[in-house]
Amino acid sequence: MSLRSPLGKALGKGSAKDGFSHWWAQRVTAIALVPLTLWFVFSVLSLPDHGYSTVRSWLGAGLTPILLLLLVGALSYHSALGVQVVIEDYIHSKPAKVAALLGSSFAHFFVAAACAFALLKVAFA
């Protein structure tokens, strides 16, 4: 007979690693992206034209730059998580997998930084 508690046994079994935080972050960003993406699509479609000054004045005014920052942040995070899972599932060679994961991480950080920089530059202009 073992004196270990059921919890103690369960804790020693299996490898959860950081799977839960990945899963949860994917859901949190997914839920945030429902209103943010719909707002973005309808806002862009309802602009009178897509000329330089129209888009810049829309993008710099009111809550728009804040919502757009949230949008590009949630988009790049959600995309990074999704692409990571696809790479892990379909690329089985270790060197290729690590290279793809690194490339995806760097690309997503670049996209997030570049979009945030562009948005802030327009908003503070």
Partner 1 sequence: MRQRPLSPHLSIYRFAYTMALSISHRITGIVMAVGLLLLTYWLLALATGPAAYAGAMRLMGSWFVQLLLAGWLLAFVYHLCNGIRHLTFDMGLGMEKAEARRSAIWTVAVTVLIFGLLAFLAFFARSVL
Provide the binding-site residues for partner 1, judged by CB under 8 A.
27, 30-31, 34, 37-38, 41-42, 45-46, 50, 52, 55-56, 59, 72, 75-76, 79, 82-83, 86, 89, 92, 108, 111, 114-115, 117-119, 121-122
**28 contacts 78 by C-beta, under 8 angstroms:** no
Q: Tell me which amino acid residue 114 is.
A: A
Residue closer to partner 1 by CB (options 5, 46) is 46
Residue closer to partner 1 by CB (options 11, 86) is 86
- Cα 79 to its chain centre, rounded Å, is 5
Q: How far is the CB of 81 from partner 1 (least distance, A)?
A: 10
Q: How far is the CB of 1 from partner 1 (least distance, A)?
A: 34
Left, alpha or beta for 49 (phi > 0: left; psi -120 to 50: alpha)? beta
Q: How far is the CB of 115 from partner 1 (least distance, A)?
A: 5
Residue closer to partner 1 by CB (options 3, 45) is 45
Residue closer to partner 1 by CB (options 25, 115) is 115
Q: How far is the CB of 42 from partner 1 (least distance, A)?
A: 7
Q: In angstroms, rounded to a whole number, what is the distance separating the alpha carbons of residues 20 and 41?
A: 31
Question: Of the candidates 80, 73, 76, which has an alpha carbon nearest to the alpha carbon of residue 104?
Answer: 80
Question: Of the candidates 81, 72, 84, 83, which has an alpha carbon nearest to the alpha carbon of residue 112?
Answer: 72
